[in-house]
Amino acid sequence: MNRLKKLNKRKFIFAITLLILFFIALFLLFKKDNDLNEAIHDEKYDLIINYNKTDVKKVDNPVKKYIRVNKRAFLNNIKNKEKDTKYNLLINVNTKKYDDFYFVHASNYQYLGGAHYNRDDYGFTYNTKTNKYIDITHFFKDKDSFEKLFIVAKNNLEKYAKKEGIVLDNEIVKDGLHPNLENYKYFYFDDNGLSILLLPLQVASWSDGEILITLPWEDINTLLKSEYQNKNVTKEKEILVPKTRDIEKLQNKKVIAFTFDDGPNKKTTEYLINEVEKMDARVTFFVLGSRISYNEDTIKKAFINGNEIGSHTYSHRNLVKLTDDEVKDEINKTNHIIESVIGVEPKLLRAPYGSINDKIVSYSNMSIINWSIDSNDWRLKNRDLIKKEILNYAADGKVVLVHDIYEESVHGAILAMKELEKQGYEFVTISEMAQLKEQTLETGVIYREF
């Protein structure tokens, strides 16, 4: 009896000890996690870690490890440093959940003295349904669809840049948005669409910081696997892929930008597009918003061939004679219509009659493109005279004004181009011209030639 009591007592003590150990372990575990989230303002350094647990081990564990490793490294780094400056560690962990997925991005800023911060980024995407780490291509139909992401991302980045007044460099954007895993490492889906985090220097300058662009569902739905498409999206944007060309080969050539106003006009514009294509040339169309709805295919074709589409306002009224609201309407309505057809908002504006003032220039938020050679086509009405007029003034960097609604004008322009081709000229869009002449097309600036 006594023995049994003793045994029970022992068992009891053993159980209690186990229980206590369990709680200590739990406490330590909890404390450890809590320790990860902290703000220390020491004499020598500031240390801030912002982190939220998810309770999914495969999401939490790598993040915890990342935090510990970087914190340790930081404290080691400053251990033997003088107290002459305040050192700094900031780790921000951003975790989003959508559907079955966790999207994790952590950034780690360290200031260890000197002129610059060090920045380091880390992240991953986790599928809770399959318990696997995945990358962005997982959501896309196929390679072709993933490649089209470039176009959608570029359009949305350009819109963002315009709003924020950021000047983009075409070549940097091309590299920074090129469809590969490195460029699209940090992203998430939510009710607004697909958001992509672009790190400093990825597409803009260091001072522009990180850029978050959100590609709306209507832009990306068709690119995604059907199970990831947003079923609530009613209209889906068609994604047109313009032909690209390497303009490096034009670097040392004489170049002219032909620009065509007042169209599109089905018969004459399409004829022009085909002739331009045969010459491997590119031109710019300044279209009227009011003429687009019944010429959508013509504009699409011009755009796909690599030509540039600019705005010539909605109804060709003299802007300086309109009220502010009317001017804004003329510009905004046209931009909206052009975007709805080709997927890109125009960046270039040519005011009707070239008539514009400083106020309109500034709130158009576009680059204003005038001209340096007037073909006088509307007055001459004869292809040979128009050709002669253009050839008289042709020179490297010039911008030629023609109207593609008249048959004689289109023929005159083509005849001039064929003659100039023999003289070694190449024909480029306004954007290509600016790039070749190492100029950045800025908004609120008037250009006549390059």
Q: What does 56-84 look like in DSSP terms, one character per residue? A: -HHHHHHHHHHHHHHHHHHHHHHHTS-SS
CA distances from 441 to 202, 293, 304 (A): 20, 28, 22
Q: How far apart are CA 405 and CA 384, in angstroms?
A: 17
Q: At what angle do helices 296-304 and 324-342 cross, to 10 degrees?
A: 70
Q: Are 281 and 221 spatial neighbours (Cβ–Cβ below 8 Å)?
A: no
Indicate the residue type of 439.
Answer: Q
Least Å distance between CB 307 and Zn ion?
18
C-beta of 179 vs 310, nearer to Zn ion:
310
Least Å distance between CB 52 and Zn ion?
57
C-beta of 138 vs 316, nearer to Zn ion:
316
C-beta of 208 vs 262, nearer to Zn ion:
262
Least Å distance between CB 66 and Zn ion?
58
Give the list of residues 6+ apart from residue 14 with CB closer than 8 angstroms, or none. none
C-beta of 242 vs 289, nearer to Zn ion:
289
Residue number with the shortest CB distance to Zn ion? Answer: 261
Q: Per DSSP, what are the bridge partners of residue 166?
A: none
Least Å distance between CB 391 and Zn ion?
23
Least Å distance between CB 261 and Zn ion?
4
C-beta of 203 vs 430, nearer to Zn ion:
430
Least Å distance between CB 409 and Zn ion?
12
For Zn ion, the binding residues (CB under 5 A) are 261-262, 352
C-beta of 289 vs 352, nearer to Zn ion:
352
Q: How far apart are CA 405 and CA 276, in angstroms?
A: 16
Q: How far apart are CA 183 and CA 197, in angstroms?
A: 9
Q: How far apart are CA 16 and CA 91, in angstroms?
A: 40
Q: How many helices (H) and strands (E) does the chain have?
A: 13, 18
Least Å distance between CB 284 and Zn ion?
13
C-beta of 262 vs 377, nearer to Zn ion:
262
Q: Where are the alpha helices (DSSP H) in 279-382?
A: 296-304, 324-342, 358-364, 377-380
